[in-house]
A and B are shown apart, each in its own frame.
Chain A
């Protein structure tokens, strides 16, 4: 679909460069670690602003996986999707922080345990 980032190079040069490159699996492990830390933050913290920041961390972990795969397959669609994720994150932060300002104005706290207007 898209042009590859890199032209194929002669075999010997490729082999020589590959030996110095970090394989994609290690980037994926780092990405999974960051995603898991973000998930832990969402699950164990009760403060809405910490939860929103942990969601940002999870989005960034996914971005790292996208970029690693983009290099792995030489396809620019992965990098394009990172840009889209950043845009969605910006929109999410704008609305989420506005909601938090309203929540703080109403309840005077950001603790999600005390936010039970719509809970039964």
Chain B
């Protein structure tokens, strides 16, 4: 059961990932990325993390990818044309560097891990949530991340503001922010 799920979902994720980086149209790339995210959500469920699988579907495939598609549609990005990926020297430098990364990461996969513990016992979701909100280091990180999210929201709102963009465009010292009607 786990074997079939692992090989099926793993194949889907790798194929979708390759299709994503090689596709020309941003919308297709986003859809392939959603395929990767959904198959990884399935793998999370197989790996005894059903809560993370649900979060993966809700937060990643739901919220974040909708944001991507929204921006792609907003900017009206078309299919890339006139880009010869295989005639650019940078592609080959990139692939060589990727090969180095791949060799490094694969060579660090050791063969001596303890065997996985068998399922059963504690409720995963309950113990996970309890640990997240009672363990002091994790609780500190949760609080810091809430501040990070607030900062990101403020930053995104500031960048999205029309006058903020105009300042960058004019490349001049900061104009006083204009009041929008």
Contact = CB atoms under 8 A, between A and B. Distances in A.
Contacts of B1: 20
B160 A101 contact: yes
B17 A38 contact: yes
Contacts of A33: 14, 102
- Chain A at the B interface: mostly helix, strand, loop or mixed? helix
A46 B91 CA distance: 10
B63 interface: yes
A88 B141 CA distance: 11
Interface residues of A, number: 84
Contact of B95 (A5, A44, A50): A44
Interface string A1-45: 111111111000110011011111111111011111111110111
A53 B68 contact: yes
Contacts, number: 262
Nearest to B144: A84
B131 to A, nearest CB: 5
A41 to B, nearest CB: 4
B103 to A, nearest CB: 9
B118 A14 contact: yes
A105 B36 contact: no
A18 B115 contact: yes
Nearest to A91: B152
A87 B149 contact: yes
A80 B18 CA distance: 28
B21 A50 contact: yes
A92 B59 CA distance: 13
Sorted from nearest, which 4 A-B pairs have the closest CB atoms? A43-B94, A7-B121, A41-B21, A91-B152
